[in-house]
Amino acid sequence: MTEQIYNPLRHKLAEGQACVGAWLMSGSPIHAEAMASLGFDWLCVDMEHGSTDISEVEAVFVAAERHGAAPIARINALDGELARRLLDLGAVGIIVATTESAAAFETFAQSCLYAPRGRRGVGLSRCNVWGDTFEGYKAHFQPILAPMVETKKGVEEAGALAALPMVDAMFMGPYDLSSDLGCAGDFSNPTFTDAVAIVRKACEENNVAPGYHQVICDDKELQARIDEGFKFLAYGTDILSMRQALSGIRNLKG
């Protein structure tokens, strides 16, 4: 139970619960707080496509945590140095874009885990309340580590990725994946659906939570992804959701 205290989201995923979050494209703590207050399980600072830099992350994490949303970050490469800094700032999980090698991800993961499992540096920082909870955090915290499968090569590596003991979830980016497979945006194309099935099977066989980004905010589509068995779901982004809500202005001015 002690371990569960330090990363309850990881335990929800391990128990098979559907956990819904969203991407934060901006570095705005106001956006984070407004979204977290709606009941999201997690919010992910998008450091691949978004505008947030490392100096803005802490305030966003604080705002998310205030309403019980677990703070996560997406990075655009297997950058162990950046991952360590984000974990020290309080991230409970790291999503890595365009992962294509299980061996490379395993090496990266060592930067996220304390010895003897890894080589994460020990510091008194926000993640352990500047030392107040140091012993418990170091002994029991384990981050959610989720490679993103977004290419044909990533699909081919899905089984090896899911078999890594430190992988808790695998996330699929439908636009990037469909584009790499030659059917950009066509999520009903058999090439795409077959690839998704391969990744989901790898997750099921290794007790890893399958993840998916439901880009357009449509509650029926989100429920459909949950019914399909996805457990780690991103529902829209702060910027796209705002634009979707306000898009009626085009009709008024037309």
Q: Determine the Cα–Cα distance for residues 113 and 181; give it in Å rounded to an integer.
A: 34
Catalytic choice (49, 67, 140, 213) = 49
Q: Are 90 and 65 in contact (CB under 8 A)?
A: yes
Q: Are 79 and 54 in contact (CB under 8 A)?
A: no
- Identify which of 104, 102, 84, 91 has the alpha carbon closest to the alpha carbon of residue 144: 91
Respond yes or no: is residue 49 known to be catalytic: yes
Q: How far is CA 18 from CA 80, 169, 227, in A?
A: 28, 12, 10
Q: How far is CA 63 from CA 26, 31, 84, 199, 200, in A?
A: 13, 9, 21, 33, 33
Q: Determine the Cα–Cα distance for residues 36 and 249; give it in Å rounded to an integer.
A: 26
Rg (CA), the chain: 18
User: Catalytic positions, please?
Assistant: 49
